[in-house]
Structure 1
């Protein structure tokens, strides 16, 4: 297992230029036919944030949460969710989208889901910097804990790698996978503490909802931008998250490896 992972990293480093080129082309291709092009990748999330700001700050007059304006409490949780959502939706269809590469004998197909993750990362890094900006607009200075968010970005990427391999391969054989993922993500958005505080729930409900690994990421971003809590202070949840991530990585790798020989025939 360890040797296999090391070999994977070596192959990834070896193909880094190809991966980067494919990711850039994929990012551009999403909006190639529109007038404003790649601007749309940033406009839709910005409009959503603006709507939430207007509704909750101006309309509902939401009270501060832990002495922070609602929008500052909401945005650090919403941004990683957008990243996670984008990765799952795009990787679920990536083998269909690039079926001509899948059918090439010498092409390493496992790079395609990673390409989608890198493509989504371009947008995510912009919005992480946007969080820096919006906190500055509200008068909060940048501190060292802000940069801890990059650790949680890395953690989310690793978590999504195994998941994306499993989802992309299974989607070829289960045609409704993309629709199923869309439904799961809609439910997941509301059961993940993005709009609400899990610590305010009944103890047993809060503990149940915290089983969700994405909770670790959401709270981590808030710890970085709001509360200034170092990630090593969450040692129990960190261990749990990385155990789940490793299991998922192994699971996704095995599924992709088992289904890889049959992908071209199905496509």
Structure 2
């Protein structure tokens, strides 16, 4: 736990620098594009359109899920996933890409995944606001359960950082790991309940129980429970406990491996 404490203190101590670097990273990514930061909205909108055409109109024929229009059901799951996807892949490359910068500016490399997570919020937050607008337009009005969005957002960020610290460390040591991670993320997209409801597909109950243990399913389903199905996180006590145990295991493992090898990052790079 001492390693975890060191990592957390580094994040808190460098909080102002993290947000400053995140803003710089946002601008640098799109500075050579004519539409600039507007692409942060256009890219997810195009992906949403493609997924809706294929899965909503093509495969499902526009049918709703539990009385909820598919487009709303999909949006609530897809917006968090787009953030998860970009953060998982971006943060995993953050250390080996910027370790030289860290050595020159004298800040701990453990904050590099955090910078990536904060930078990606410029996509997640405005798209989240769009989802809330469409929900209200569709007569899904705010309730006390909407406050759970804070909880599930916290779950998402903490879990992503825990996994990203481990991924970023391993990727720096073994570059091939990035390719393995990319394939794993593609699979996770389909088993996290992002665009299809595996609980209504006639899948054996034992398989559904296993799929529910997926931390990303817990997060995505949590957003849906809060916004449209009016279910509290305490109603899934066992899965909630498993989620946080999994998160802490990743955080402990990632912190230990990161602190053990980060002195060698410059030599490896």
Answer whether TM exceeds 0.5 for this pair: yes
What is the TM-score when the length of structure 2 is the normalising length?
0.92
Verify: 1:43 aligned to 2:39, yes or no: no
Q: 1:169 and 1:4, CA in 2 relative to 1: closer, same or farther beyond 3 A?
A: closer
Verify: 1:12 aligned to 2:4, yes or no: no
Verify: 1:83 aligned to 2:83, yes or no: yes
1:255 aligns with 257
Q: CA deviation at 1:178?
A: 2.1
Q: 1:113 and 1:56, CA in 2 relative to 1: closer, same or farther beyond 3 A?
A: closer
Unmatched 5+ stretches in structure 2: none
Unmatched 5+ stretches in structure 1: none
Q: CA deviation at 1:247?
A: 0.6
Q: Is the 8 A contact 1:53 1:71 kept in 2?
A: yes
Distance in 2 between residues matched to 1:231 and 1:241, nearest whole Å? 11
Write out per-residue CA displacement over residues 188-242 of structure 1, whole angstroms, 9 at most, x where no aligned residue: 1112212222323210111121221111111101101110111122211111100
1:116 aligns with 116
Distance in 1 between residues matched to 2:113 and 2:191, nearest whole Å? 26
Q: CA deviation at 1:31?
A: 1.1
Q: 1:57 and 1:198, CA in 2 relative to 1: closer, same or farther beyond 3 A?
A: closer
Matches within 5 A, 1:62-77: 62-77=62-77
Cα RMSD of the aligned pairs, angstroms, is 1.9
Q: Is the 8 A contact 2:84 2:160 kept in 1?
A: yes
Distance in 1 between residues matched to 2:139 and 2:183, nearest whole Å? 38
1:224 aligns with 226
Q: Is the 8 A contact 1:87 1:160 kept in 2?
A: yes
Distance in 1 between residues matched to 2:187 and 2:55, nearest whole Å? 21
Q: CA deviation at 1:6?
A: 4.4
Write out per-residue CA displacement over residues 40-81 of structure 1, whole angstroms, 9 at most, x where no aligned residue: 112111122223344555555321110011111111111111
After the TM superposition, which of the residue ranges 248-257 and 197-206 deviates more from structure 2? 197-206
Distance in 1 between residues matched to 2:134 and 2:252, nearest whole Å? 38
Q: 1:167 and 1:9, CA in 2 relative to 1: closer, same or farther beyond 3 A?
A: closer
Distance in 2 between residues matched to 1:37 and 1:97, nearest whole Å? 23
Q: 1:55 and 1:166, CA in 2 relative to 1: closer, same or farther beyond 3 A?
A: closer
| Helix, strand or coil at the partner of 1:110 | helix
2:24 aligns with 25
Distance in 2 between residues matched to 1:179 and 1:172, nearest whole Å? 13
Distance in 1 between residues matched to 2:25 and 2:205, nearest whole Å? 44
Matched length = 266
Q: Is the 8 A contact 1:23 1:115 kept in 2?
A: yes
Q: Is the 8 A contact 1:52 1:71 kept in 2?
A: no
2:178 aligns with 178
